[in-house]
Structure 1
């Protein structure tokens, strides 16, 4: 690996190797909220939209816009707030971005038309996107490197939890009356308010403070977190090294030192989420093409079981495997299990469905890396910008893939569509082989 493509790491310090404590668990738990909210928000709108459309009297164009509004907001929030957090700090934005989510969610109760709802859903997405940039950045910069991968990977599991809760709660609430959808949408304000209150008092990242030359404030944070003299001396060395470096600019993400990490992150992230969102958004249609009928509840149950099992197994894989190795091998297995649907679509269901179960398990495990890798690819003065950029672009890729899948199935057929998705995975594999750095146990600078 050349110097140009090496991960942006620093000297290991006593701060990197402190014992795991209650604050590390707290900052991780408070970061669960964005992932949970993303899954919950997308889950409740999919259930509420048919009812809302009937009551407010709008057509499929508005349904599509309302379904995509939060994804558009997540893109804007991730990119813009990620950049801002590297400039003005993480702590204030991390503490108060959920105020926006709480207010916009509560205001959904009073909407009278699709334009109002679109704006509110856009604002909610901006708040969630902001937390996608800020949360993993803070977790990566606070927690000991030994536990960083596992704690970051656990964030992904909460998306599924939020979506499942929304499914069951939403289906129960919309049957309660004509205005039940208003109460359903407004429910997301309650956890948002709790998050704002619980985040009060979270300190600024000492790594960001050092990057800005604010050494004494960084030392105060480390003392507050139980750091000893060795940790303080380590921070002083980092501060001296940081002072000798020119300040990073957003465009440096695309410059000579970092373009490989940026390019890898964009391709890797999108190569995972485009097939994931496309296939599982229209899962009944995909299963029907494989010969699994809508009445086959056993197959649906197995798929949900494999999704959950893969998500939990992914935590173990992230803890035990190397980042580069897990990325490369997961793309290889995903290609091997999806390609038969493209090359032999008329194969017996007894062959295709077990392969699809293996695909589901592997995909669910692999996406745990989505919260891990981005936070480890960039130095401190570009970390939030880089994480925000990769998260934001992944949501654009997800929206495009989800929009195009049913059109592709209708116009080019099942086999070519699966071939296209297999080629997307092949692109992820090629980028990983060429550019994926090894960042496990990396000492962040």
Structure 2
């Protein structure tokens, strides 16, 4: 029996290039966590200084999320013009908007600028994760994309600590807090310069010589175009409609809905962490540090998920995770007045089990859709998720004020349970499949091996 030839790209060892690309691609999620969390501390000063009522406080809290929703549509642009070009441009916009926050004088100005920040972050999701997925070996794809979510919580934790420390600067400390996101953004722009374009995208656009050159630069002289399947040019046009076609509609609904159910309560907790902890009578006077601890728990929850995503499998892991999250947030809703041990247990269980959906949020859309619509898919499913995030974050302070922490958390438990039902009904299994096989809806139900070679009409 003839031994099957090793795929130089899909079976590559984890290299220094993969490490650098993972770190650089994690920059967007880091800044996302930082920008969305630093506002929680800043609002304690902004609200009285700018005379924000509950409506404006909620709008400022969700402004970046609305921007992410808008920015998600730019995934279509990255599928059209390429990953590498957009990889740097979006961060330049983020730097400018970060610095402009220092000078705002009204609530609507802050809302507008943070809307722009969100657009930049939302654009980076499909850009960076598509590029990362298309360079990732199959055995390391789950971990590489999962690490980007860990970066989100690292950014969130850093933001809470920095914000709490900056409060001592004075009543105008919030200006320095908000502008501080420009510092890591500048560093990341410099680091990202020189990143190669995705050879899969180049090949899909017919730029064969460039694709082969990148392959040999990254994987060595033995790499060739035979290691990535050539898509059928008759079916490889970038189009929003493909996401809602017969083959991919179920996948679009799965990713968008589980993503929405995961982030709706989570983003509300991170954005209004200090107010939430005050409602539970925890960390009085140091809610920023308390929020940082919660963010660290979310980070810790991602670590076992990085290993389980391959060992346990995509589908079992996300179903188990949503079940655990539902139990955790249910405890917070049923026991709003304690005892303290139950409240802490609820936070810990919810945060630790959230690691599964966190790891899958960018892994799933990048695996389940082909090259010509991969960025579009990440963008659109991110947009769907932000419906939940925006409403959850906007209504969270309103719920606290009108109904209290218990009923508000019970609503979050219902949303999380809905995510569990979605995963049971729709989650596919793509563990250990090549990117070609996983992203092809027609063959995804078969074995983890590609049907044949690049001669088969399979999307890359």
Tell me the TM-score range normalised by the shorter chain.
Answer: 0.7 to 0.9
Structure 1 residue runs without a partner (length 5+): 1-10
In the TM superposition, residue 420 of structure 1 has moved relative to its aligned partner by: 3.1
CA distance in 2, matches of 1:36, 1:427: 28
CA distance in 2, matches of 1:66, 1:410: 17
1:73 equivalent in alignment to 2:64:
no
1:109 equivalent in alignment to 2:96:
no
Partner residue of 1:311 out of 280, 302, 313: 302
Structure 1 residues 12, 322: closer, same or farther in 2, change over 3 A?
A: farther
Within-5 A mapping of 1:159-198: 159-198=152-191
Q: Who is 2:438 aligned against? A: none
Within-5 A mapping of 1:189-268: 189-235=182-228, 238-239=229-230, 241-268=231-258
In the TM superposition, residue 65 of structure 1 has moved relative to its aligned partner by: 2.4
CA distance in 2, matches of 1:301, 1:130: 26
Structure 1 residues 65, 306: closer, same or farther in 2, change over 3 A?
A: closer
In the TM superposition, residue 230 of structure 1 has moved relative to its aligned partner by: 4.8
- Which structure has more helix as a fraction of its residues? 1
1:326 equivalent in alignment to 2:317:
yes
Does the 8 A contact of 1:337 with 1:356 survive in 2?
Answer: yes
1:90 equivalent in alignment to 2:83:
yes
Does the 8 A contact of 2:157 with 2:295 survive in 1?
Answer: no
In the TM superposition, residue 269 of structure 1 has moved relative to its aligned partner by: 0.6
In the TM superposition, residue 12 of structure 1 has moved relative to its aligned partner by: 8.8
1:271 equivalent in alignment to 2:242:
no
TM-score of the two chains, using structure 1 as the length reference: 0.86
Structure 1 residues 426, 186: closer, same or farther in 2, change over 3 A?
A: closer
Does the 8 A contact of 1:102 with 1:192 survive in 2?
Answer: yes
Within-5 A mapping of 1:23-34: 23-34=17-28
CA distance in 1, matches of 2:162, 2:279: 30
In the TM superposition, residue 52 of structure 1 has moved relative to its aligned partner by: 3.6
SS in 1 for 2:232: helix
Q: Who is 2:449 aligned against? A: none
CA distance in 2, matches of 1:105, 1:53: 19
Does the 8 A contact of 1:273 with 1:398 survive in 2?
Answer: yes
How many corresponding residue pairs?
Answer: 431
1:148 equivalent in alignment to 2:141:
yes
1:18 equivalent in alignment to 2:12:
yes
Q: Who is 2:361 aligned against? A: 370
Q: Which has the bigger relative contact order, CA under 8 A and spacing at least 6?
A: 1
CA deviation string 1:91-125 (max 9, x = no partner): 11112211101112122233343343332222111
Structure 2 residue runs without a partner (length 5+): 436-459
CA distance in 2, matches of 1:284, 1:197: 34
CA distance in 1, matches of 2:171, 2:41: 14
SS in 2 for 1:201: coil
Does the 8 A contact of 2:325 with 2:354 survive in 1?
Answer: yes
Within-5 A mapping of 1:2-13: 13=7
RMSD (CA atoms)? 3.1
CA distance in 2, matches of 1:33, 1:200: 13
In the TM superposition, residue 246 of structure 1 has moved relative to its aligned partner by: 4.8
CA distance in 1, matches of 2:177, 2:291: 26
CA distance in 1, matches of 2:218, 2:283: 55
In the TM superposition, residue 231 of structure 1 has moved relative to its aligned partner by: 3.1
Does the 8 A contact of 2:61 with 2:393 survive in 1?
Answer: no
SS in 2 for 1:146: coil
Structure 1 residues 332, 171: closer, same or farther in 2, change over 3 A?
A: closer
Q: Who is 1:385 aligned against? A: 376
CA distance in 1, matches of 2:42, 2:273: 19
Does the 8 A contact of 1:204 with 1:221 survive in 2?
Answer: yes
